[in-house]
Amino acid sequence: MKKAHLLTIGDEILIGQIVNTNATWMSQKLNEIGLWVSEIKSIGDIDSEIKKAINQSLQDADFVFVTGGLGPTKDDITKKSLAEYFGVEMVWHQPTWERLEEYFLKLGRQLSDGHKAQCFMPSNATILTNKLGTAPGMWFSSNGKILVSMPGVPYEMQYLMEAEVLPKIAELVLDGQTVIHRSICTVGEGETVIADKISKIEDDLRSNLKIAYLPGMGNVRIRVTGTGKDEELLNFDVNKAGDEISEILGDIVYANEDISFEKALQNLFIEKNLTLGLAESCSGGYISHKLSIEPGASKFFMGSIISYDNIIKQNVLGVKSETLNQFGAVSSECVKEMVIGALKVLNVDIAISVSGIAGPDGGTEEKPVGTIWIAVGDKNRILTHKLTFGRDRLRNIQFSGMFALNMARRFVLKLI
């Protein structure tokens, strides 16, 4: 398997100002086309370190992807270091100048000297047009190795990778072969349990097929990848393995394609022509937020009552004061009445409610921190469930939210 190194240049990562999400995104994309990322490195804007790192990576890897240090300010030195490393001159690149002129004309802004400097390029670079920013990407070929330099701004890097870099890299890596992926997305079981269930399929796979586990919050995505020359055969093999995995895993599979759980839930509700509403207490809007960041959410998600205070549980949702007095807000009885209230007030087919002690404080002996009640129901039946988590507030909110949404999925599918 051919090897790639990722090299990030700039201080932001080194001082802990930003998380290196670029590396995560690039690793995923390169992995998908069959390239193994064997090293990820972050260094500062220091000429000697840049040259040393480039030299090491061009020795150890087949492909080197450099991000950062291409901006118009004086601490951005990547391009100059690259030219010096390759022993070439910087030459004026007229098309970049024309692109910048046009771009700044539109914005009604003046080009600075820094921007002029952005039009000088190492003479051995193939220029990659960056339609989303000022700094172009650069493609270098040296002794059979490839080095690509791109801006560190995530959406600019992603644009260049998808439009210019990945197709070319895929061609070089695959060398006439094809890569086919098939995703099976699951919710509610851990990676170990899943791996155990499908170990026989994994053991029996042809050598050109492999399985990857990509765990997220409460969900695990399983990806079958096949590489080979015969596309038809490959398609058959990958899908056969995918179908077998999906069948063995049964109802924990929420999608047989690579989509988020919230999108799959949206599809399910739209398909069944059902609307959803929420009554959130301790989850405080988290579930509503998760549902609404998916485009298209308004087709099934009508709204929520965030009844953080008990008065709102009573006044808006109609939870009885006797229920609160006798059982407390964190109880099966309360979440049941919250569902009844949400169904009515929000005028929806299905409602979810959550009430608990998210922590880190506020628990009692009977109801310790991490005790969370969930209910899901429609006008005919309401189911409740008690979760017992730890003291981590954010984790309690996130995991109970995922659990509640999966409970709604299972309710609609009549699995519960």
Minimum Å gap between C-beta 388 and a copy of itself is 15
Q: In terms of CB distance, is 25 or 97 closer to a copy of itself?
A: 25
- Considering the rule CB under 8 A, would residue 259 count as an interface residue with a copy of itself? no
* Nearest approach, Cβ of residue 345 and a copy of itself (Å): 6
Stretch that binds a copy of itself, among 30-38, 136-144, 197-205, 240-248 (CB under 8 A): 30-38
Which of left, alpha, beta for 356 (phi over 0: left; psi -120 to 50: alpha)? beta
Residue selected from 123, 142, 315, 364 as contacting a copy of itself according to rule CB under 8 A: 315
Number of residues located near a copy of itself, criterion CB under 8 A: 69
Give the CA angle between residues 166, 169, 173 to the nearest 5°.
Answer: 135
**Minimum distance from CB of 219 to a copy of itself (Å)?**
13
Which x/- pattern over 380-409 shows residues binding a copy of itself (rule: CB under 8 A)? -------------xx--x------------
385-389: list long-range contacts, CB under 8 Å, 24+ apart: 386/332, 387/356
Token couple for 205: 């796979």
Determine, following the binding rule CB under 8 A, whether residue 274 of this chain makes contact with a copy of itself: no
Spatial distance between the Cα atoms of 164 and 260, rounded to a whole number of angstroms:
27
Residue with tokens 């024309």: 98
Q: Which of 108, 113, 143, 311 binds a copy of itself (CB under 8 A)?
A: 311
Which of 77, 253, 274, 306 touches a copy of itself by CB under 8 A? Answer: 306
Alpha carbons 90 and 79: distance in angstroms, whole number: 9
Compute how many other C-beta atoms are within 10 angstroms of the C-beta atom of residue 39. 15
Q: Which token pair is 348? A: 């929806």
Interface pattern 31-70 for a copy of itself (x via CB under 8 A): x----xxxxxxxxx----x---------------------
User: How many Cβ atoms are within 10 Å of 119's Cβ, its own excluded?
Assistant: 21
Q: Where are the alpha helices (DSSP H) in 150-230?
A: 154-160, 166-174, 191-197, 199-204
Q: Which three-class secondary structure state does DSSP give residue 76? A: coil
Residues 192-231 within binding reach of a copy of itself (CB under 8 A): 212, 214-215
Given 66, 245, 291, 375, the residue binding a copy of itself (CB under 8 A): 291
Out of 184, 297, 352, 375, name the contact with a copy of itself by CB under 8 A.
Answer: 297
For 239, the enclosing helix (H) or strand (E) is helix 231-249
Contact indicator for 198, 248 with CB cutoff of 8 Å = yes
Tokens at 274, concatenated: 């059902």
Burial 280-305 (b: 16+ CB within 10 A, else e): bbbbbebbbebbeebeebeebbbbbb
Q: How far is the CB of 203 from a copy of itself (least distance, A)?
A: 17
Phi-psi region of 363 (alpha: psi -120 to 50; beta: other; left: phi over 0): beta
Kindly state whether residue 351 participates in binding a copy of itself, applying the rule CB under 8 A. no
Q: Out of 295, 322, 325, 380, name the contact with a copy of itself by CB under 8 A.
A: 295
By CB under 8 A, residue 108 contacts a copy of itself: no
Smallest separation, CB 400 to a copy of itself (Å): 13
Which residues contact a copy of itself (rule: CB under 8 A)? Answer: 13-21, 23-29, 31, 36-44, 49, 212, 214-215, 278, 280, 282-289, 291-293, 295, 297-298, 301-309, 311-312, 315-316, 345-347, 358-361, 393-394, 397
